[in-house]
Amino acid sequence: MDIRRSILWVIFTASVIFLYNSWLRSHGEAGLFGQAPSVTASAPAAAGSGVPSALASAASGAPGAPGAAAPAGSASAPAVLTDVRTDLLDLKISSRGASVVYAGLLKYKSQEDTSQRMVLFDDTPSRTYVAQSGLVGGQFPNHETPMTLVPGPLDMGSANTLTVSFASPVEGGLQLTRSFTFHRGSYAIDVRDTIVNKGEAAVQPQLYLQIVRDDDNPSKGTHFYHTFYGAALYDSSAKFQKFEFKDFHDQAKTIQAGDGWAAVVQQYFATAWLPQPFQGSREFYLRKLPGGLFATGVMLHLPKIAPGAQEQAEQKLFVGPELQGQVEGLAPGFELVRDYGWVTIIAKPLFWVLEQVHRLLGNWGWSIIGLTILLKLAFFPLTAASYRSMARMKAVGPRMTALRERHKDDPQALNAAMVEMYRKEKINPLGGCLPVVIQIPVFIALYWVLLSSVELRGAPWLGWIHDLSAKDPFYVLPLVMTGTSFLQVKLNPTPPDPMQARMMWIMPLAFSVMFFFFPAGLVLYWLTNNIFSIAQQWFINRKMGVPEFSSVK
């Protein structure tokens, strides 16, 4: 039985399915492999204001209605923007609720316009992406409340830390003071909310932390690959969950949790609220807001505050690139925003090796080549066995063709003759395929490492390649890679079945089309892999005395 033909068709069919799945996702449709995880409960949204409702389990006795929006007239006060600058961030904080409404990354350029810096948070007529927080459970200060800047420095300068504070008026008996502390070399901002009860009754407010943004995906990708963009939640029980904005509904969806964080992620960058451990409960929520906006947040159930007493809540606000050194250790599971999917267990050590190679070579392009060579050396015994098997198949190719001609009208006799020939020549028809199958998870993991690593964004290699995360502007690498793919086909044994032989020549062309749109770093990896595979296969063919190249049929 010609097992190789069956395997070839399985690989080709699987490739078509994955390509179609990527095409669906790039057009905003549901993929072929299921929807995002469903959430477990629902709660009503506050009407129109963007202020979320209090938890259903909130203690009674707070003045005002639970989940009430901002006090009348508070939203009408003109907002004043405060410019804050650190060594990494250029921020604007609005006096309305002390919301972060602009965040420019000083070390990163915009992908669309390299003369402009990369912007995450922004609040303009054409774009909304902001970090908000406030209190609910009564007529308490929230993200609509006018707040006053506490006098102090606004530029980090040569200092290692910078603290900027805002204070609210007393509303519902509570005064809220929010302090942002910035640290040199860090994209994580310490946020401390100090809540003072200046009323005459004990109250138990709840603190919400949310990120609100529109559904304009900044990572366009191509029809041939898709990177996730949407909300991400993490807690110790459900672990890492992702939700596309199109899956948000008109009613808020909530998830009970004892810990964890909420984030909005896109290719290379993330923003997140990371609440620090505390005694109260919390709920995550996902909300669709008016105007095509979406809120991703977490609600914290604070302890009861007696008259004259105060309570503090501490959290971190992350806004920046998904650099390995920045996301690790901030909160449990936060490193998962560098989303490698189901191959994370392989991808993380692969990136570690790539990073070590980069420390030696100092260039990410050469580091990709170095890592590819290391992988080729690690898999050398497997690939050598595969190429030896293919060389044996190539050597018996003429005899295989003769058998097919002799038994063309008797498939059973043909299969029996082929099995006997394999036995005499000590050929395993699967010998050339199994070693390759074993390597597939590693190659997929490396694909996601190169597609998801912000370290490659804006990183040059040589000559015309100025950004390994962007496609080759002159398509030189894809063209050379296409040529090496055809050369590999010539080195392989020619299938005796004419249709199968034609497919062997069509498949490299079909796959090569994708690489014209892939980031240059990915194409460089495949090109390097092809070149060393060709060298290894050519050497083994010569050593075993079989013709180096197959003829085109």
The answer to whether residues 261 and 351 belong to one domain is no
Count the domains in the chain: 2
Q: Which residues contact 324 (CB under 8 A, 6 or more apart)?
A: 335, 338, 351, 355, 455
Last residue of a domain, one of 307, 323, 339: 339
Question: Domain residues for 524?
Answer: 347-395+431-543
- Tell me which of 296, 314, 339 is where a domain ends: 339
Q: Which of 12-16, 114-118, 198-202, 421-425 has the lowest mean pLDDT?
A: 12-16
Query: pLDDT digit string (tens) for 77-97?
Result: 689 999 999 999 999 999 999
248 and 178 fall within a common domain = yes
Q: Classify residue 27: in a domain, yes or no.
A: no
Task: Tell me: do 324 and 389 sit in the same domain.
Answer: no
CATH number at residue 141: 2.70.98.90
**Same domain assignment for residues 363 and 331:** no
270 versus 539: the higher-pLDDT residue is 270
- Residue 24 is predicted with a pLDDT of 47
Co-location of 330 and 361 in the same domain: no
Q: Is residue 306 part of a domain?
A: yes
Sign of CA dihedral 440, 442, 445, 450: negative
Domain check: are 313 and 352 in the same one?
A: no
CA 37 to the chain's CA centroid: 16
The bridge status of strand 148-149 relative to strand 206-214 is: unpaired
Residue 54 falls inside a structural domain: yes
Do both 384 and 475 map to the same domain? Answer: yes
My answer on whether 206 and 266 are in the same domain is yes
Q: Take residue 388 and report the two structure tokens written for it.
A: 């030896």
Mean pLDDT of the chain: 83
User: In this structure, are residues 454 and 321 in contact, taking their beta carbons and an 8 Å threshold?
Assistant: yes
Between residues 472 and 433, which one has the greater pLDDT? 472
Residue 234 in 3-state DSSP? strand
Q: In terms of domains, do 455 and 315 share one?
A: no
Query: pTM of this prediction?
Result: 0.82
pLDDT of residue 434: 58
Residue 355 and residue 329 share a domain: no
Residues in contact with 359: Cβ distance below 8 Å, sequence separation at least 6, in sequence order? none
Any residues with CB less than 8 A from the CB of 165 and at least 6 apart, and which?
149, 150, 152, 177, 178, 179, 180
Q: Which residue has the higher pLDDT, 281 or 430?
A: 281
Least confident window among 121-125, 231-235, 386-390, 524-528: 386-390
Residue 492: inside a domain: yes
pLDDT of residue 73: 41
Three-state SS letters, 295-317: EEEEEEECCCECCCCEEEEEEEE
Q: What is the pLDDT of residue 190?
A: 98
123: pLDDT strictly greater than 90: yes
Distance CA 408, CA 228 (A): 51
**261 forms bridges with which residues in the sheet?**
234
Identify the domain boundary among 305, 339, 373: 339
Q: Does the residue 185 lie in any domain?
A: yes
Which alpha helices (DSSP H) does 331-396 contain, by range?
344-361, 364-378, 380-395
| Cα–Cα dist 281/55, whole Å | 10
The model's pLDDT over 164-206, given as tens digits with 9 standing for 90+, comes to 999 999 999 999 999 999 999 999 999 999 999 999 999 999 9
What confidence score (pLDDT) does residue 8 get?
46
Q: With beta carbons less than 8 A apart as the criterion, state whether 313 and 278 touch.
A: yes
Q: Convert the pLDDT of each residue in 352-392 to its tens digit.
A: 999 999 999 999 999 999 999 999 898 888 777 666 776 66
Per-residue tokens: 517 = 């749109």
Q: Averaged over 257-275, what is the pLDDT?
A: 95
User: Amino acid letter at 351?
Assistant: F
Rounded average pLDDT over 405-421: 82
Same domain for 280 and 311, yes or no, is yes
**pLDDT at residue 249 greater than cutoff 90:** no
- Give the total residue count for the chain: 553
Answer yes or no: is 460 within a domain. yes
- Is residue 189 included in any domain, yes or no? yes
Same domain assignment for residues 378 and 298: no
% the chain with pLDDT above 90: 54
Is 487 domain-assigned? Answer: yes
